[in-house]
Structure 1
């Protein structure tokens, strides 16, 4: 019991919570960027623009079938070779944003395809352009259907930030390893704390998904 309280001392808790802040920060930036990129990619694949949609779809499939850890390593270690040097925080954000955008784009494309064709025809019959139809009629309906799977994917994103400890991102996972490396008796208490912290963040996201699901039903 003494080891438990020693592992979770005020200094260690402060250190771990700072790591949790980095985890949340990476997640927030990655979520915003991946939603933007994923929306454009999903719409491009849905529109079936000659050649362009096929090219985007092929690139998207390549990214989706690569391990996220490989993409993180590539971003952090390979980009400097071509003169692009990013801090570890932003390297992680870039890697996770592109990977998650590839995942989210499939959800978005599927959401768009679930909208009845009559919605497109009805909007265009009122004189709306294709762009106006997509922005004002189709996307609002599609996003209502996509919110639960989108948030489920974003929960996975939060958990996947732990992979960035491989490039020494000082997130919760990395800092937890630093703390219990000081004393082997700290391993269980620190793992319990990390489990609780990840659970709380992801559980709050799941509650958010249920809230929007009820509101938009």
Structure 2
């Protein structure tokens, strides 16, 4: 079994191109998810009549759906109602929908961890409720939420591999192309993918652990 050419620069570069797509999709998805999840988590924390319950129901539904189903929906079902997305944005949309639901719970838990006295103090000092949240509550909550957000980002990076089903040219997709041309390269490609996923996720986990440690040192 000849594996000598598996780790050629051409193949490694092709895998790195896929890894770059993985990172791009992850970054764009996490930015959108932070915004949407933050809004959803704040609404649920604030207990706005009717709206909070509706948002909570939507979040619970999405959290209990397989991510693969959401990917199929954004790529195959949305065009049926006139929303046409290319492969990249279909993957981003699916990951954003799923991760927003996950992050909304992280935001809600982080806001709930801030003592209610902080909100009362802000309101009694003349600040509006929105000002109290943005100036007093949210900065305190965000410090405790950051490790969990980074952990969710690590999961997101790994979840991008599911987009191979719609042929997103990410790491898994490109590896399949390489070993599809030469079946002797299956094991080397899995070794290369493992190493790349591990390096990226391990570095993020180190950052998460560092933030977790620093949180308890204050």
TM range (shorter): over 0.9
Task: Write out per-residue CA displacement over residues 4-30 of structure 1, whole angstroms, 9 at most, x where no aligned residue.
Answer: x30111111111110000000000001
Aligned ranges 1:36-47 → 2 under 5 Å:
36-47=35-46
Native 8 Å contact 2:119 2:137 kept in 1: yes
What corresponds to 2:164 in structure 1? 165
Question: 2:54 and 2:174 mapped to 1: Cα distance?
Answer: 41
5+ long unaligned stretches in structure 1: none
- What TM-score, normalized by structure 1, do the two folds share? 0.96
What corresponds to 2:67 in structure 1? 68
Q: Which moved more, 1:205-214 or 1:147-156?
A: 205-214
Q: Which moved more, 1:174-183 or 1:161-170?
A: 174-183
What corresponds to 1:144 in structure 2? 143
Q: Does 1:81 align with 2:80?
A: yes
Native 8 Å contact 2:29 2:96 kept in 1: yes
State the Cα distance separating 1:83 from its structure 2 match. 1.2
Question: 2:120 and 2:46 mapped to 1: Cα distance?
Answer: 15
What corresponds to 1:52 in structure 2? 51
State the Cα distance separating 1:2 from its structure 2 match. 4.9
Q: Does 1:185 align with 2:184?
A: yes
State the Cα distance separating 1:211 from its structure 2 match. 2.9
Question: What is the SS of the residue equivalent to 2:48?
Answer: coil
Question: What is the SS of the residue equivalent to 1:49?
Answer: coil
Question: 2:11 and 2:50 mapped to 1: Cα distance?
Answer: 54
Question: What is the SS of the residue equivalent to 1:42?
Answer: helix
Question: What is the SS of the residue equivalent to 1:6?
Answer: coil
**Root-mean-square deviation (Å):** 1.1
- What TM-score, normalized by structure 2, do the two folds share? 0.96
Question: What is the SS of the residue equivalent to 2:127?
Answer: coil
What corresponds to 2:129 in structure 1? 130
What corresponds to 1:108 in structure 2? 107
Task: Write out per-residue CA displacement over residues 92-127 of structure 1, whole angstroms, 9 at most, x where no aligned residue.
Answer: 001101100000101110111111111111111111
Question: 1:138 and 1:188 mapped to 2: Cα distance?
Answer: 50
What corresponds to 1:213 in structure 2? 212
- Across the two proteins, how many residue pairs are aligned to each other? 216
Q: Does 1:32 align with 2:31?
A: yes
